Structure 1
Amino acid sequence: YKMKYIILFALVVAFIGNALASDELVIGENIITVRAHLDDSLENFNIYLSMPQNYFVGLGFGSSMKDANIVVIDATEESFNGVPVIHDAHSSEHGKPVDNEESVFKLLDSTSDGDLLTVALQRPVVVQRDGRDETIPFDEEIKMIYAFKEGKYGYHGKDSRGFFTLNVSSETGDVTFNNNPVGTKYNKIKEAMK
């Protein structure tokens, strides 16, 4: 009797998990969208981001800022001259990530209509530097963090951060986002993902 409920629960969880999977990540109450896929060679990871100008958006590989590899797209008034500043950074603790000496991210395209900025970035799948393996794994759930804020690049605040997961297909190069956040309760999500 209990086994039937356990099986039913597992099926419902699997169904909901698949229903939440998407090829697009939407954050910040629909103001920021992220898509990604591998290039045809399956050697480069492409990120496509749509965001308001005068914002910064950070995407990090890991389940917290501690020991996370982070890319920050900075289109704040302080740095924006028609092209966003791309920070390829690492965060060893909670606090503003430190830019790496050498960036592995290449800005492929950046267009603006005055309010909305669309950015295309690329980085190699395989990256090893400073004693860290930053290689993006295929065919497994990758825990990710995000943060964003309007205005000067710095602390994002507690309501402008969260988690998501993604999966990169080794066969097609497609990237699927899971647990699409709309708003966030950072600490509750963090506990649930442990």
Structure 2
Amino acid sequence: DNAVDGPVVVTVAPKLDVSWIPVTATDVTITLTLKGSGWVGMGIGASMADADMLMFAADGTSYDGSSSSTAMPPADAVNDLRDVSVSLADGLLTATFTRAVDTGDGADKPLAQGGSDVIFAWSTTDGDEYGYHGPSRAAAQIDFWGTSPAASSIVLGGSSKDNVYRVHGASMFFAWGFVGP
């Protein structure tokens, strides 16, 4: 039994917190809290091109989709989110939902014990319309089975692979631009 006294909270960006309570060995309840009034999305997967996408807007709508590119993901045939609550109050967009750890739906990704790659995107100004998020994104490795945020690693502004490319590019620029000549 993974029951805890309260939610485990991780700040994935200055404007976004994710919290969870592992309810049972089969279900988890997750809350996304955004400082803003637009929309917030969470994807289970390392990149948007292959993720199980869950999105929530300030008008109270929720969306369960599966992406295979960086475009707006199509909706799943089956919405596997339960007990969905989306609210906007005091400048905070809060989305809470329960999901099976493994839905059995081929369009959904299971949450792995020990940690899952998770991506986040949001807009604080687009109102209720899902749209391009630009740099408003983050990637994390989160153990939704766990009761401690210590096992979670956060990468702001994209996936860890994106950051490796940025560091590599800066290193090559420095090496060939200053050291090489």
**TM-score band (shorter)?**
0.7 to 0.9
Report the Cα distance in structure 1 between the residues aligned to 2:94 and 2:141, rounded to whole angstroms. Answer: 22
Report the Cα distance in structure 2 between the residues aligned to 1:63 and 1:141, rounded to whole angstroms. Answer: 12
What secondary structure is seen at the aligned counterpart in 2 of 1:135? coil
State the match for 2:15 in structure 1: 31
State the match for 1:103 in structure 2: 79
Quick one: structure 1 residues 92 and 175, their matched pair in 2 at CA, closer, same or farther if it must change by over 3 Å?
A: farther
State the match for 2:103 in structure 1: 127
2:112 corresponds to 1:137: yes
Q: Which amino acid aligns with 2:16?
A: I
In the TM superposition, what is the alpha-carbon distance from 1:115 to its structure 2 partner? Answer: 2.0
> Percent identical across equivalent pairs?
21
Mind listing any 5+ residue stretches in structure 2 that lack a counterpart? 1-7, 167-181
Report the Cα distance in structure 2 between the residues aligned to 1:69 and 1:178, rounded to whole angstroms. Answer: 19
Pick from 37, 50, 55: which aligns with 1:72?
55
State the match for 2:147 in structure 1: 174
Pick from 71, 92, 98: which aligns with 1:116?
92
In the TM superposition, what is the alpha-carbon distance from 1:144 to its structure 2 partner? Answer: 1.2
Report the Cα distance in structure 1 between the residues aligned to 2:120 and 2:164, rounded to whole angstroms. Answer: 12
Quick one: structure 1 residues 62 and 175, their matched pair in 2 at CA, closer, same or farther if it must change by over 3 Å?
A: farther
Mind listing any 5+ residue stretches in structure 1 that lack a counterpart? 1-22
Quick one: structure 1 residues 108 and 174, their matched pair in 2 at CA, closer, same or farther if it must change by over 3 Å?
A: farther
Pick from 142, 154, 178: which aligns with 2:131?
154
TM-score by length of structure 1 reads 0.68
In the TM superposition, what is the alpha-carbon distance from 1:61 to its structure 2 partner? Answer: 0.9
Structure 1's consecutive aligned runs of 4 or more residues displaced over 6 angstroms after TM superposition are none
In the TM superposition, what is the alpha-carbon distance from 1:111 to its structure 2 partner? Answer: 4.1
What secondary structure is seen at the aligned counterpart in 2 of 1:168? coil
State the match for 2:38 in structure 1: 55
Quick one: structure 1 residues 121 and 163, their matched pair in 2 at CA, closer, same or farther if it must change by over 3 Å?
A: same
Q: Which amino acid aligns with 2:40?
A: V
State the match for 1:46 in structure 2: 29
TM-score by length of structure 2 reads 0.72
RMSD, matched Cα: 2.5
Q: Which amino acid aligns with 2:25?
A: L
In the TM superposition, what is the alpha-carbon distance from 1:57 to its structure 2 partner? Answer: 1.1
Q: Which amino acid aligns with 1:134?
A: K
Q: Which amino acid aligns with 2:20?
A: A
What secondary structure is seen at the aligned counterpart in 1 of 2:154? coil
What secondary structure is seen at the aligned counterpart in 1 of 2:163? helix
What secondary structure is seen at the aligned counterpart in 2 of 1:35? strand
Quick one: structure 1 residues 185 and 52, their matched pair in 2 at CA, closer, same or farther if it must change by over 3 Å?
A: closer
Contact 2:116 2:142 in 1 (8 A): yes
In the TM superposition, what is the alpha-carbon distance from 1:53 to its structure 2 partner? Answer: 4.6
